[in-house]
Amino acid sequence: MIKGMTLVREVASADALDKFSRLMLALGFEQGKGWQDETSRGVALLSPLGNLELMTGRAPAVPPILIEVLGLDAVHAAVEKWMLSNYPGEAGDLLSKPELTHWNSRLFTVRLKDDAGEGLELGFWQSENPLHGKPAAIEGDLSAAGMRVAIVTARWNAVITDRLLQGALDALYRSGVAKPDVEIVRVPGAWEVPSAARTLAESKKFDAIVTLACLIRGETAHYEAIYNEVARGIGQSQQDTGIPHAFGVLTCETLEQALDRAGIKAGNKGFEAAIAAIEMVSIQQKLREQGDKK
C-alpha cells in the first residue's frame, strides 16, 4: 500500500536552500525530518497533499515545482513581503503577478537565487473551478418534473405562514412541479403539523412533504415545549416513512425576525424548504438506481 511520496530535488547552494525552506515554512508548510552527512544536507517540507505528474512530449511552460494554494492573492502578498525583505531592489524582477492560465487557474512564479545567481523557480497556483478538488459525490438535481409534493402549513401566525406558502409554491412551480401535483393541507397550528405530515407520508401518494409553521417566543415555556415536539414529530415521520420531509418551521424571538425569514430580508424559508425537498427526492432516486445496478 502506498503511504506517501517524496520528491527529492537538488538546490544550487546552501544559501538558496535556506531561503527556500524559510519561505515555505512561513507560508505554512510543516517542518519534516531533515538530514545531513559529510557531503550534503536536506530539508524536509511536508504538505497535506502531494501529486506526481508524469508526461511525454513538450513540457508545459510552468516551473518544475508547483504549489497549489487557497487564497492566491493573500499568498502572493505574503511572498511579496518576504521577497522585499530578502531581495531588496530585486523582488520586482523575481516575483510575477498572478495571471490567468489556459488550464483554468491563476498562477504566479517566484525565483529564489543565491549570491552566484543560481536558484530555484516555484509556481503558486489556484484553480478557478469551484468544484476542483472536491470528492465525487451523489447530489440531487433541482428538476422536479413529475414529482408529487404535499405542503402542510399552519394557520396560526398566518401573516407569516402565508408568505412561506407562497415561497414554497414558487419554488415548486419554477422547478417543474405541475400545479395538480401539489396538495396543500392547512392545520390549526404548528402542533398539528407532524400528524398531518405523517398521514400524508403514509399514504405513499407523495414524493416529499413540506412542513411550514411559525413559532414566536412568548413569556412562558410554551414556545420550547411546542417546538421540541414539532421538530421531533416531523423528524420521526420522515425516518419511519422514508419520505423526505422539508423543515420550514420558523422559530423566532420576534415578529420582525419572522417577517425577515418569510421574504423581507433573509430570504424565504418556505422557498428554501421546497428546494430542499426536491433535492432530497432526487438524491433518493439516484441512490435507489445505484443500488439496483449492484
Q: How are beta strands 41-42 and 35-36 bridged, if at all?
A: antiparallel
Cα 210–chain centre separation: 24
The values of phi and psi at residue 83, to 5°, are: -65, -40
Query: Whole-angstrom Cα distance, residue 134 to residue 58?
Result: 29
Asked if 76 is an active-site residue, the reply is no
Query: Whole-angstrom Cα distance, residue 118 to residue 20?
Result: 13
The values of phi and psi at residue 153, to 5°, are: -130, 140
Q: Quick check: 65 and 9 in contact, CB under 8 A?
A: yes
Handedness of CA 150, 155, 156, 159 (dihedral sign): positive
CB neighbourhood size of 161 (10 A): 25
* Nearest one of 45, 50, 51, 9 to 30, comparing CA atoms: 45
Cell of 12: 544550487
Query: Whole-angstrom Cα distance, residue 138 to residue 127?
Result: 22
Which entry of 76, 102, 222, 245 is annotated as an active-site residue? 222
Q: How are beta strands 119-127 and 105-113 bridged, if at all?
A: antiparallel
Query: Whole-angstrom Cα distance, residue 117 to residue 197?
Result: 75
Q: Between the CA of residue 84 and those of 18, 167, 208, what are the distances in Å? A: 16, 55, 60
Catalytic residues: 222
